[in-house]
Structure 1
């Protein structure tokens, strides 16, 4: 498998419909990236959960998943499962994030996600971030919508284990969910690792990628 190394990454953006989406979909990659680049600027936007215990969980979790980073997190109060009915508010929030940052890399849901909030947010991303590299993360769920991702971030066993531990530690409100457990998170990471010749990995969907084969 051919690996392409990106140029220097000084700032990234994170987008999610719900608290814990980012950590589930890209937590291992964030641990890897932020540990390698102290002081990395991280601008994060979550559309729902503001003013509840979930906002407090998200602040603590992303602080842990982005060690040493300059984290700037906004959690809004949009109702869960109602993004289509709040389209204008969601679009304005994404555009406001774009006005505040010009990221070298953006993590967001991908358009093939079966959850309407995830899918809707994914469709909004290219309307504001039109010339940015977007990695669409995946979230295991009842819908059975896992597809064939095209980009992989290998994870060391230590990082994979740390991701699971942080998910369990920082999102107590989700522990009662039948799918929210160590086996689910490590199981998917193991499968994605097999697909890229690694022990563990996170996988992403990307629609466009510009190459510089001459190295100029």
Structure 2
């Protein structure tokens, strides 16, 4: 993964950390460049404020070794297949030119996560179309792969990443979102405040057991993974 450029896209700050925080920490530790893009400012969240969330997102990114994090400020709960939104995401892909793009897996209890997935799929495809215009007249660019991480769901993964050595970093990144995973003085109970981090840890433990390691994160893909040889690494 050395020298790779990875773009991880989420609907809200904390989505990426929930689904693939351990993998991000592993890859940045190995020398990869990881950019996180939050499509919204999560302004409709039950707890916390936009400014709090931004500070927490910055802290979480630093913990995981992410040097750059951006927000597109698309309206929370407004992630629809709107052409202007597709163009915004396409412009991000063309600007950062990642080898690999990650998006939420579409089967999730939160509609924004599924809508985010579909927006990214459209942008991923359009980014490589030479005559598709985005603001700034950016050149066409086609990333190599699009993979999907899980947020609230538990699905049979197509592949997993061993994060045993990075599970503590993942948990630390989640704890950076104090406004979301704990109930503050004026906070309310949500699925995130009811043992959510423990549930995520349990999921990664189960994924790990499937492949004989302690912790792993699971990912989905629509295309088969190519193995160079029977015991080689996937590309």
TM-score range with shorter-chain normalisation? 0.7 to 0.9
Q: Is the deviation greater in 96-105 or in 158-167?
A: 158-167
Please give the alpha-carbon distance, in whole angstroms, between the structure 2 residues aligned to 1:65 and 1:103.
Answer: 18
Q: Is the deviation greater in 189-198 or in 12-21?
A: 189-198
Please give the alpha-carbon distance, in whole angstroms, between the structure 1 residues aligned to 2:11 and 2:96.
Answer: 19
| Residue of 194, 197, 216 corresponding to 1:201 | 216
Please give the alpha-carbon distance, in whole angstroms, between the structure 2 residues aligned to 1:110 and 1:173.
Answer: 24
Counterpart in the other structure of 2:198? 183
Shift of the 182–42 alpha-carbon distance from structure 1 to 2, 3 Å rule, reads closer
| Residue of 167, 177, 190 corresponding to 2:174 | 167
Counterpart in the other structure of 2:61? 62
| Residue of 13, 35, 38 corresponding to 1:46 | 38
TM-superposition CA deviations, 1:78-102 (whole Å, max 9, x none): 3322212x73343122111112022
* Aligned-pair CA distance for 1:194: 1.2
Secondary structure at the residue paired with 2:108?
coil
TM-superposition CA deviations, 1:138-194 (whole Å, max 9, x none): 113xxxx422111100122x42123112311x1011123333544212111111111
Size of the aligned set, in residue pairs, is 197
Counterpart in the other structure of 2:151? 139
TM-superposition CA deviations, 1:116-159 (whole Å, max 9, x none): 1111111122322235312211113xxxx422111100122x42
Structure 1 portions without partners, runs of 5+: 1-6
Please give the alpha-carbon distance, in whole angstroms, between the structure 1 residues aligned to 2:33 and 2:202.
Answer: 31
Q: How does 1:10-29 map to 2 (within 5 A)?
A: 10-29=4-23
Contact 1:12 1:106 in 2 (8 A): yes
RMSD of the alignment, in Å? 2.3
Given the alignment of the two structures, is residue 33 of structure 1 paired with residue 23 of structure 2, yes or no?
Answer: no
Counterpart in the other structure of 1:113? 108
Q: Which structure's CA Rg is the greater one?
A: 2
Contact 1:9 1:104 in 2 (8 A): no
Please give the alpha-carbon distance, in whole angstroms, between the structure 1 residues aligned to 2:111 and 2:144.
Answer: 23
